[in-house]
């Protein structure tokens, strides 16, 4: 899709299958059914992956990095996985062409391709991570398997700790803690066009309508709910569509009117 002078494309890395309780901690089953979230056998089925953004001055940015090639690293079952390299190549982009990687947070299904077999995958790219998430995942014992995967990335990491940081004139990243200590939202703006890449602030557009549904993997569920409400209000006021890596087909939706959640 074109966003002013930017080109934005979803890159699907795989398709996950999971029990509802693995994502939605306390959402009622009737609510999940009414939202059309339950697939065959009453399971959740959703994509995961990355977003490719090409800027006006040759910037090639990836927002999140899917779950990687190793099913043993995934936090869910994924019958189809490991698709990110071919998805990137289908847009004529090589791994060495990527100038920047922005990680919304450091859960396994968002940083899986950061390193593979102990080697940094995108060797030309700066990797932007909020310092609170890096400390939690890379410097503590919160998640040893993720810490081990992040260790080779240290020379390529750009840590930021301010409430927000402008990486390019068209890209601002803002911390939105709750899902993890340093979860972040990236806002794209070019001309009159805007788009918010929300990471796991919202796993599905249904959370526009049900912001109080807690996430099973939230570091601080109450804080995540407060951030979700605040960002919903912000995007509605600014007429900014939102998209997340687990949204259906990884396509953006509007946050307008009384309900929101329609594709744009």
Which residues sit opposite 31 in a β-bridge?
none
68 lies in some domain: yes
264 lies in some domain: no
pLDDT band at residue 261 using 50, 70 and 90 as cut-offs: low
**Residue (of 222, 195, 199, 197) closest to 211 by Cα position:** 222
13 lies in some domain: yes
pLDDT of residue 105: 98
**Residue (of 239, 263, 238) closest to 251 by Cα position:** 263
Q: What is the pLDDT of residues 25-67, one digit of tens each?
A: 999 999 999 999 998 889 999 999 999 999 999 999 999 999 9
Q: Mean pLDDT across the stretch 136-157?
A: 97
CATH code of residue 196: 3.60.15.10
Do 107 and 46 meet the contact criterion of CB atoms below 8 Å apart? no
263 lies in some domain: no
258 lies in some domain: no
In the predicted structure, residue 107 carries a pLDDT above the cut 90? yes
Q: What is the pLDDT of residues 204-221, one digit of tens each?
A: 999 999 999 999 999 999
Which residues sit opposite 49 in a β-bridge?
12
259 lies in some domain: no
Q: What is the pLDDT of residues 160-206, one digit of tens each?
A: 999 999 999 999 999 999 999 999 999 999 999 999 999 999 999 99
Can you say whether the dihedral through the CA atoms of 171, 11, 232, 76 is positive or negative? negative
In the predicted structure, residue 258 carries a pLDDT above the cut 70? no
Among 7-16, 44-53, 250-259, the least confident range: 250-259
pLDDT of residue 262: 64
Do 14 and 83 meet the contact criterion of CB atoms below 8 Å apart? yes
255 lies in some domain: no
pLDDT band at residue 126 using 50, 70 and 90 as cut-offs: very high
Query: What is the number of structural domains in the chain?
Result: 1
Do 62 and 21 meet the contact criterion of CB atoms below 8 Å apart? no
33 lies in some domain: yes
> What is the Cα–Cα distance from 68 to 243, expressed in whole angstroms?
21
**Residue (of 248, 188, 172, 186) closest to 2 by Cα position:** 188
Residues whose CB is less than 8 angstroms from the CB of residue 30 and which lie 6 or more positions away in sequence, other chains included:
none
pLDDT of residue 21: 94
CB atoms within 10 A of CB 263: 13
Do 168 and 55 meet the contact criterion of CB atoms below 8 Å apart? yes
Distances (CA, A) of 234 to 83, 146, 157, 231, 237: 33, 32, 29, 5, 5
In the predicted structure, residue 259 carries a pLDDT above the cut 60? no
pLDDT of residue 40: 80
> What is the Cα–Cα distance from 211 to 112, expressed in whole angstroms?
27
pLDDT of residue 264: 58
pLDDT of residue 256: 79
pLDDT of residue 50: 98
Range of 168's domain? 2-250
> What is the Cα–Cα distance from 1 to 258, expressed in whole angstroms?
26
């Amino acid at each position: 899709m074109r966003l002013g002078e930017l080109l934005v494309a979803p890159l699907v890395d795989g398709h996950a299958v999971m029990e509802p309780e693995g994502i939605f901690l306390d959402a009622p089953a009737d609510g999940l059914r009414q939202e059309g979230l339950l697939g065959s056998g009453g399971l959740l089925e959703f994509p995961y992956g990355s977003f490719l953004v090409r800027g006006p001055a040759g910037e090639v940015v990836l927002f999140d990095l899917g779950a990687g090639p190793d099913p043993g690293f995934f936090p869910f079952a994924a019958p189809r996985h490991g698709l990110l390299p071919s998805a990137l190549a289908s847009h004529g982009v090589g791994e060495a062409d990527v100038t920047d990687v922005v990680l919304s947070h450091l859960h396994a299904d968002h940083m899986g391709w950061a390193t593979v077999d102990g080697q940094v995958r995108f060797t030309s790219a700066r990797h932007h991570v909020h310092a609170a998430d890096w400390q939690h995942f890379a410097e503590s014992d919160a998640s040893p398997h993720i810490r081990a995967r992040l260790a080779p990335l240290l020379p390529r990491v750009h840590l930021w700790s301010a409430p927000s940081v402008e990486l390019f004139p068209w890209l601002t990243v803002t911390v939105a803690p709750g899902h993890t200590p340093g979860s972040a939202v990236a806002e794209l703006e070019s001309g009159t066009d805007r788009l918010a890449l929300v990471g796991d602030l919202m796993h599905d557009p249904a959370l526009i309508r049900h912001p109080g549904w807690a996430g099973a993997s939230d570091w601080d569920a109450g804080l995540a709910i407060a951030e979700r409400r605040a960002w919903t209000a912000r995007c509605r006021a600014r007429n900014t569509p939102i998209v997340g890596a687990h949204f259906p087909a990884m396509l953006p939706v509007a946050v307008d009117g009384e309900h929101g959640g329609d594709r744009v």
